[in-house]
Structure 1
Amino acid sequence: MRNREFRLLWLSFTMSVAADQIFPVTVTIAALNSGGTASTVGAIFTGRWIALILFALLGGLWADRLPRRTVMIVSLGFQCCAVAVGLRGDAPAPLLAVLVFLVGAAEAFHRPAYQACLSSVLTPEQRPTGVAMGAVSWRIGAIVGPGLGAYVVTVWSPRVGFLAVLAAYVLGLLLLLPLREPPVAAAPRSSAVREIADGLSEVLRRPWVTGVIIAVALQLMLTVAPTQVLLPLVSRDTFGGDAVYGTALALLSVGGLAGGVVSMKWKPGRAGLTGVIGLALYGAVPLALIWPVTPEFLYGCYIVAGLGLEIFAVQWVMNLQREIPPERLARVTSVDWLASSVMMPLGLALTGPVSAVIGRSALLVIGTVGGFAVPLAALFFRGMTRFHSDVAPAAPDGAAEATPTSLKAP
Structure 2
Amino acid sequence: MTAAPAPAAPAPAAPRPLAWAGRNFRIQTAATVVSGLGNAAAPIATAFAVLETGGSTADVGYVTAARTVPLVVFLLVGGALADRMPRHHVMVAANLFNAVSQAVLALLVLTGSTSLWALVALSAAGGAGQAFYAPASEGMIMSSVAAEHADRAFSVYRMAMNGSQIGGAALGGALTAAIGPGWVLLLDAGGFALAGALRVLLRVERRTDDTARPGMVHELRLGWREFASRRWLWAVVLQFSVVVACISAVETVYGPVVAAQRFGGARAWGAAMAAFGIGMLVSGVLTARRQPRRILLVGNWGVFLFALPALALALRAGLPVLVAAMFVSGAGVTVFGVNWMVALQQEVPAAMFSRVSAYDHLGSIALTPLGTALAGPAADALGLDGALWTCAVGTLALAAAVLAVPEVRRLTRALPTTGPAPGPAPVDEPVTA
How far apart are residue 80 of structure 1 and its match? 3.0
Task: Work out which of the residue numbers 80, 95, 116 in structure 1 matches 2:139.
Answer: 116
Equivalent-residue separation in structure 2 for 1:286 and 1:151 (angstroms): 23
How far apart are residue 361 of structure 1 and its match? 5.8
How far apart are residue 206 of structure 1 and its match? 0.7
Q: Which amino acid aligns with 2:80?
A: L
Is 1:48 the equivalent of 2:70?
no
Which residue does 2:325 correspond to in 1? 301
Equivalent-residue separation in structure 2 for 1:228 and 1:31 (angstroms): 12
Bigger Cα displacement from structure 2, 18-27 vs 182-191 = 182-191
Which residue does 2:32 correspond to in 1? 13
Alignment of 1:213-252 (within 5 A): 213-221=237-245, 225=249, 229-231=253-255, 246-252=270-276
Equivalent-residue separation in structure 1 for 2:313 and 2:44 (angstroms): 26
Task: Work out which of the residue numbers 175, 180, 193 in structure 1 matches 2:198.
Answer: 175
Which residue does 1:319 correspond to in 2? 343
Ranges in structure 2 where 5+ consecutive residues have no aligned partner: 1-17, 415-422
Equivalent-residue separation in structure 2 for 1:40 and 1:10 (angstroms): 34
How far apart are residue 185 of structure 1 and its match? 8.0
Equivalent-residue separation in structure 1 for 2:251 and 2:182 (angstroms): 33
Equivalent-residue separation in structure 1 for 2:257 and 2:96 (angstroms): 39
How far apart are residue 74 of structure 1 and its match? 1.6
How far apart are residue 304 of structure 1 and its match? 2.0
Pick closer, same or farther for the CA change 1:367–1:162 going to 2, 3 Å: closer
Q: Give the TM-score normalised by the residue count of structure 2.
A: 0.78
3-state SS of 1:126 partner = helix
Which residue does 1:99 correspond to in 2? 122
Task: Work out which of the residue numbers 55, 60, 75 in structure 2 matches 1:37.
Answer: 55
How far apart are residue 252 of structure 1 and its match? 2.4
Q: Is the 8 A contact 2:280 2:334 kept in 1?
A: yes
Q: Is the 8 A contact 1:257 1:307 kept in 2?
A: yes
Q: Is the 8 A contact 2:169 2:271 kept in 1?
A: no
Q: Deviations over 1:196-244 (max 9, x none)?
A: 222222111111111110111122345663576555666688x675576
Is 1:373 the equivalent of 2:397?
yes
How far apart are residue 385 of structure 1 and its match? 2.5
Pick closer, same or farther for the CA change 1:409–1:62 going to 2, 3 Å: closer
Q: Is the 8 A contact 1:117 1:181 kept in 2?
A: no
Which residue does 2:171 correspond to in 1? 148
Q: Is the 8 A contact 1:256 1:309 kept in 2?
A: yes
Equivalent-residue separation in structure 2 for 1:199 and 1:28 (angstroms): 36
3-state SS of 2:148 partner = coil
Q: Is the 8 A contact 2:170 2:270 kept in 1?
A: no
Report the identity percentage: 27
Task: Work out which of the residue numbers 342, 350, 355 in structure 2 matches 1:331.
Answer: 355
Q: Is the 8 A contact 1:208 1:389 kept in 2?
A: no
Equivalent-residue separation in structure 2 for 1:85 and 1:299 (angstroms): 33
Pick closer, same or farther for the CA change 1:396–1:308 going to 2, 3 Å: same
Q: Which amino acid aligns with 1:37?
A: G
Which residue does 1:165 correspond to in 2? 188
Q: Which amino acid aligns with 2:222?
A: D
Q: Give the TM-score normalised by the residue count of structure 1.
A: 0.82
Is 1:265 the equivalent of 2:284?
no
Task: Work out which of the residue numbers 80, 87, 91 in structure 1 matches 2:99.
Answer: 80
Which residue does 1:59 correspond to in 2? 78
How far apart are residue 193 of structure 1 and its match? 2.4
Bigger Cα displacement from structure 2, 54-63 vs 364-373 = 364-373
Pick closer, same or farther for the CA change 1:165–1:371 going to 2, 3 Å: closer
Is 1:4 the equivalent of 2:23?
yes
3-state SS of 1:269 partner = coil
Q: Is the 8 A contact 1:120 1:182 kept in 2?
A: no
Bigger Cα displacement from structure 2, 93-102 vs 265-274 = 93-102
Equivalent-residue separation in structure 2 for 1:235 and 1:40 (angstroms): 16
Q: Is the 8 A contact 1:206 1:389 kept in 2?
A: no
Equivalent-residue separation in structure 2 for 1:215 and 1:359 (angstroms): 25
Q: Which amino acid aligns with 1:216?
A: F
How far apart are residue 153 of structure 1 and its match? 6.1
Q: Is the 8 A contact 1:226 1:347 kept in 2?
A: no
How far apart are residue 117 of structure 1 and its match? 0.7
How far apart are residue 123 of structure 1 and its match? 1.1
Equivalent-residue separation in structure 2 for 1:395 and 1:96 (angstroms): 44
How far apart are residue 129 of structure 1 and its match? 2.2
3-state SS of 2:147 partner = coil
Q: Deviations over 1:252-305 (max 9, x none)?
A: 222122222222222112111110111122234444445456554444333222
Pick closer, same or farther for the CA change 1:22–1:303 going to 2, 3 Å: closer
How far apart are residue 326 of structure 1 and its match? 1.3
How far apart are residue 82 of structure 1 and its match? 3.1
Q: Note the aligned Cα RMSD (angstroms).
A: 3.6
Q: Which amino acid aligns with 2:227?
A: V
Pick closer, same or farther for the CA change 1:317–1:184 going to 2, 3 Å: farther
Q: Which amino acid aligns with 1:213?
A: V
